[in-house]
A = this chain, B = another copy of it.
Amino acid sequence: MSDFKRRIASLFSNASFESALINSYESLRYFSGFKGLGGAFLILSRDGTSKMFVTELEAPDAKEAVYDQLVVVEKTKKFQEEIEKALKSYGERGQIGLEDGSITLSMYEEIKPYVNSWVGISKKISQLRSVKDDDEISLIRNAVKIAEESFLQIKDEIKPGATENHVAAELEKAMKEAGAEGIAFPTIVASGERAANPHAVSTDKKIRDGEVVVVDFGAKYKGYDSDLTRTVFVGDVGDTMRSAFDAVFDTQQTCFKALSLGAKLSDVANLAIKNLAKYKLDKYYTHSLGHGIGLEVHESPYLSTSSQDLLKEGQTFTIEPGVYIEGVGGIRIEDDFLSTKQGVTRLSSLPAKL
């Protein structure tokens, strides 16, 4: 059982708001364990009590979640009315926190008449969620393990003649059979010149001898995501890609070693650019260095040059430098890490070169 009470108490600590309307999938799971995809509302209160609202369809999922009171409403229209009533009544106690990062403008327009005074709480929730407790770390460890074992299981499928889609399908199947509740994101398998697009999904293109194959993949385990990338050489990929690989690997190691509790993450992001510049490859590096992983596959903290984050104890995150050369190919190496009192440790254990 996750420590929902402690999480709710942290939300209200030093807060100006007296209650909070929770509606995003991740926050519902974080504060109550609710896993339904169909949507629900959870009202949290400074006194520690919580009240969940769902329609009939989500009642089975709601019954597996944790809260003080459940309101099951028959129809969508009544659902809206119940929320409005609750907002009005909680509003009398003071300011209401709204998930401004997930409430849409049209939803806001609908509830506005019932909300006297509100404050956005998405940033605070994302800060809270960026520091993981032991339960969460253990789930993320499992998500990493599932992804790694699955990759090892299917890596021989990465060969001339196999399509990118085939490799992605085999890998996703392996993760699911290994106990993942799903994939953390659509698997990227980008071969040859396609590897120069860091966001390429998989296609029915066949892998050819002499190509690099970037495989970016992750498993979702009980809500928590892993996120890994390996770049596989199929035959002789040529000097440009070979040197790029070494430069990217060196950059990942350099950034890893530079990290310690309290580190400015923008400094580490800048270090990656500086290190790639040693190899004259910095201009081929177009994305940020890494990001937190948890209930979302991209979350706080952010390892980017514009990040304001300092590394705290209990954060789980990726380090994933890359080099992308149009018309040639691309290299990315991504591992998952955890910051502890004793320093930063690598959660993933796949060798960089496979």
Residues in A lying within 8 Å of B, measured CB to CB: 36-38, 56-58, 60-61, 75-77, 98, 100-106, 108-109, 120, 122, 163, 165-166, 168-170, 172-174, 176-177, 179, 181-182, 186, 196-202, 204, 286-287, 305-306
Contact = CB atoms under 8 A, between A and B. Distances in A.
Name the residue among A168, A172, A173 with the largest chain B CB count within 10 angstroms. Answer: A173
Contacts of A106: 100-101, 120, 122
Given A56-B286, A172-B169, A204 B179 contact: yes
Contact of A173 (B36, B101, B105, B169): B169
A57 B287 contact: yes
A149 B162 CA distance: 21
B182 A77 contact: no
B100 A199 contact: no
A82 to B, nearest CB: 15
A176 B163 CA distance: 11
Given A57-B198, A104-B103, A199-B37, A172 B176 contact: yes
Q: How many copies of this protein are present in the complex?
A: 2
A165 B169 CA distance: 14
B186 A177 contact: no
Given A57-B286, A60-B196, A101-B104, 13 more contacts: A57-B198, A57-B287, A58-B199, A77-B306, A98-B105, A100-B109, A101-B105, A103-B104, A105-B108, A106-B120, A106-B122, A166-B177, A169-B172
Nearest to A76: B306
Contacts of A287: 57
Name the residue among A163, A165, A174, A181 with the largest chain B CB count within 10 angstroms. Answer: A165
A286 to B, nearest CB: 5
Contacts of A98: 105
A306 B76 CA distance: 9
A76 B165 CA distance: 31
A197 B100 CA distance: 31
Given A165-B177, A173-B170, A102 B104 contact: yes
A204 B177 CA distance: 8
Given A75-B306, A106-B100, A165 B172 contact: no
A202 B35 CA distance: 13
A289 B12 CA distance: 41
Contacts of A196: 60
Contacts of A199: 36-38, 57-58, 60-61
Nearest to A179: B204
Contacts of A204: 179
13 contacts: A38-B199, A58-B199, A100-B105, A100-B106, A100-B109, A101-B104, A169-B172, A169-B173, A173-B173, A176-B202, A179-B204, A181-B201, A182-B201
A176 B168 contact: yes
A56 B75 CA distance: 45
Nearest to A174: B169
